[in-house]
Each structure stands twice: as structure tokens, then as C-alpha cells.
Structure 1
Amino acid sequence: MVSPLETVARNHGAIVVERHGRRVPASFGSTAAEEAVCQASVGMSDRSDRDTFELRGDPVAIETALTELGPLVWASFIGADRALVRCEAETSPEVSDVLEHYGDVAAQIRTAAYAVIGLVGPRASELLNEVDLTPSGLIIREGRDSFEIVLPADHGPQLWDFLIEAGKPFDLACVGHDALDRLAASRRTGRSA
């Protein structure tokens, strides 16, 4: 699967590789420097490596399903009876299995319909407070200093370029999956990267 952000990421120096059947930026030149950016300011990444589900139906049933899915997903309502759900590609079958048990919830995998830009770092929230993403961008909080901006695929490259400029005062830099993987590993082991 090719990301809607691949060309714009390459234009900013991405080295693109295939992982788990998806093409992702491995790095933008220096994994160590990209990791440092995520720890000190804000790193921006292409998160097309993950799956996106659209849920429609009874809001209480959606909430119940999201509670059952717990740490497998992060989500946001986009209407009274609609939510976007994000998960790692390898947990997508498990997420699908859980959602099948909810008759009041219609779930569709819509990964290809969206571009997803990740923002990671202590200044990510500050940057998001300064930019206006309406009407097309939905912000989903993944963790304390980690966010995803989900938007229609064809708007992704424009938002990437916009964030490059808007992020300059926040020391934003593009980061690849090698740095993100190292950060995730250091979080799991409880040590500083």
C-alpha cells in the first residue's frame, strides 16, 4: 500500500522502505537526530502504517466497543453516531473480530481513504494549539505527547507542507519509523533513549 504522503515525504528527504506490506519513511537522514527531535521538540511522521476504521451506529454501542478494545485502539467521535478508530496494522484482525460482535455498530476499514500525520514530542500539543485544522483535520490523541491528524487522503500532502512551515517556531522536523520504533522500544523498557 502506498501512502498518500509518500511523495511529499520523499520531497523532504525520506528514505522509503516497505514494512509489513506498507511503504513508510524509514528515516529522513539521521535516526538519532530524529529521535532527539521527538524528545526535545516535535517530530512529524507519516502514520500510514496503521489502520483506520470508521464506525457508525448507536453511540452507546460504539462507546462500549471502544471500551472493550481498550489499549488496542485510539479513537475520536466525528459525529453523534460516527467515530474514527486507529490501530496498529498487526492488531487490525483482532479489532475487526471484536467489532463484529456489535450488531448496532457498522465498521469499515477505511485506511486508504485517509492520510494520517503523526506529531510526537513535548511541543506537539503547543503546535496543535496554534494551527487551525478545521474543517478537514481530526486530531486523535494517542498518548501524552503523541497525536495523529487524520484527514482525507487528497488533503494530506498540503497539510504536511503547511505543518513544515507552521512548525518552524516549534523546531518541528520530519521523522521516520526507525526513530519512532526506537522511541517505542525505549518506552516499553522504561529507559530513556
Structure 2
Amino acid sequence: MKIKIIISLLCMSILTGCGNDDDSKSDTPLTPAEKIAKMENSGELPKLDRTDTVAGIDADQNGIRDDIDAYIQKTYPTEEQRKAVSQYARSLQASLLVDLENKITVKAATNTTSRAISCIFKKVPSGNSPNGGSVVEEILGVTTNTKQRLLQYIALDKALDGTVISSPSGDVCDESLFTMPDQRL
């Protein structure tokens, strides 16, 4: 019995001593920036614009940062969902760029964003995966992915202090996004 225990312990110690001798791994831990880059390169995280501006890069000038546009196209399976999420991304981007001193434009931008959020809840009903709430949080997170953008969003929120925003009614989805040119009245 003692021999079996000794042999078992010896086998476990030999197996424990055998490790991966991969020289590509270093003993130094990765920095947070390196971890993010590694996750982006693997596709685990989206590659997001980290330029030092609130606006970011929108080469096609459709009102949505190019990285967010690519993320939406890759992430959302149906055309209807992509259009609803694009409407929200566009309104969110515009609200980050609005003049915070002008209460009328701040309120108008917020109403547009509220309509877009309602559109997401209409086109991505609860019970589905992803659900509307998680989509809104996700797009907000990728849009405010730098300190400057997040601070701008917080300033927008502060500019709304004391205002009342009603839930939109009626057609909340931008119909131009949801109809084909030959289907218009």
C-alpha cells in the first residue's frame, strides 16, 4: 500500500513539474494596455477608436464613429437590429457633440436619443438575446470608451439636471432607415 502511495505521489510530482516550456510567454505580467490589445487582436474585444477627441473618426460622415459602425455590423444579426442600433449610436454621438450651454439643443439631442432607445426596445424585444437594455448599455460603453468621451457624457448628463424627458410615442424609429427607397409612399 505504501509503495502505491509513493508511486502515485511521485507520478503527480513529475506531472506537476512538466509544464509548458513555451518561450513566447514571459515572466513579466502584461500591462492593462497590452491585455486590451491582445483581446482586441483575438477578437474578444472590438477594436475601438481611442483618438484624443470626443468625435473620433467618422470617415464616411454618417454620424457614427467608424469603429462603432463596424462593431454594429459585426455584432447584430438582423438588418432591422443594425438599423435600430445605428439610430441610437448616431443620436448618442450627436449628443456628445452638442453645445452644452444651449439648453434647447441639449434637450433636443436628448429627445432624439430617447426616441432611438425606444426604437431599440421596439426592434429588439425583451426576452431575446441580446435584449434592448443590454444593447443600450453596450453601445453607450463602446461610445464612451475614453476618459474624454466619458467626461463629455457626464457633462451632458449634468447639463440635463432639472429637465424632464418624456417617453416618446408614435413612430420612434427613423423610417428612412427602415424602408427601401422603392417602398416609400
TM-score interval, smaller chain: under 0.3
Between structures 1 and 2, the one with greater helix share: 2
Higher relative CO (CA 8 A, sep ≥ 6), structure 1 or 2?
A: 1
Between structures 1 and 2, the one with greater strand share: 1
Name the larger-Rg structure. 2
